Amino acid sequence: MDEILQKIISALDEGEDEQISLLVRQALAIGFEPMTILENALVPAMTRVGEKFACGEYFLPNLIVSAEAMKQAMFVLEPVMRQRQQMLKRAGVAVIGTVQGDIHEIGKTLVGTMLSVNGFEVHDLGVDVTPEKFVSAVAETGANLLGLSALLTTTMTVQRDVIQKLEDAGIREQVKVIVGGAPVTRAWADEIGADGYAEDAIGAVEIARRLLDVEGII
């Protein structure tokens, strides 16, 4: 294994996001193909971080900083790949956000980070997002996954409204809808006709992969 790829692997493991950008640029400069950097360094490194998390050695913050580093590395790689007309294999396109009337952010952001590190193109609409905005974002991006976050019993009803609006717009079949947030239960997800529900970011990725039948990295 080449030294520079090894360095990229450890930078990702330690979540050194500034350093990883430099290293990826260096690797490109000395002639590595973007796909080689991705498949021989970034993906296996991220998989290992996931494994360390699964066995209890790493905690959530480790996962996040590595995911951030992965994102930085992709910022460098993607333009080069586009230039060379190399297609990145996407797990899917995801639209996520916290529903109208609710400003809780962290959980939704974590889900976005975990989806993006697992190969999803993530469009994070932020917080306090109206049903209309969700629907138009799904239509515009051609998303096949929609994640709706609600942390209050008073706002979780908006999750139902969004699903209704998707039906009204005739694009419900295009997209799998997953819901989450502290008060959300499996029973609620079933009641409002969501496709899936998870209690944490790791669970959200698992359910997304299962619904869309795609493989992930961690």
Binding site for other proteins (CB under 8 A): 15, 59-62, 64-65, 68, 105-106, 109-110, 185-186, 198-200, 203
**For residues 62 and 86, which CB has a smaller minimum distance to other proteins in the complex?**
62
**For residues 33 and 71, which CB has a smaller minimum distance to other proteins in the complex?**
71
Q: How far is the CB of 106 from other proteins (least distance, A)?
A: 5
Q: How far is the CB of 183 from other proteins (least distance, A)?
A: 12
**For residues 60 and 90, which CB has a smaller minimum distance to other proteins in the complex?**
60
**For residues 47 and 103, which CB has a smaller minimum distance to other proteins in the complex?**
103
Q: How far is the CB of 136 from other proteins (least distance, A)?
A: 25
Q: How far is the CB of 128 from other proteins (least distance, A)?
A: 13
Q: How far is the CB of 107 from other proteins (least distance, A)?
A: 10
**How far does the chain reach from its first CA to its final CA, in angstroms?**
22
**For residues 93 and 96, which CB has a smaller minimum distance to other proteins in the complex?**
96
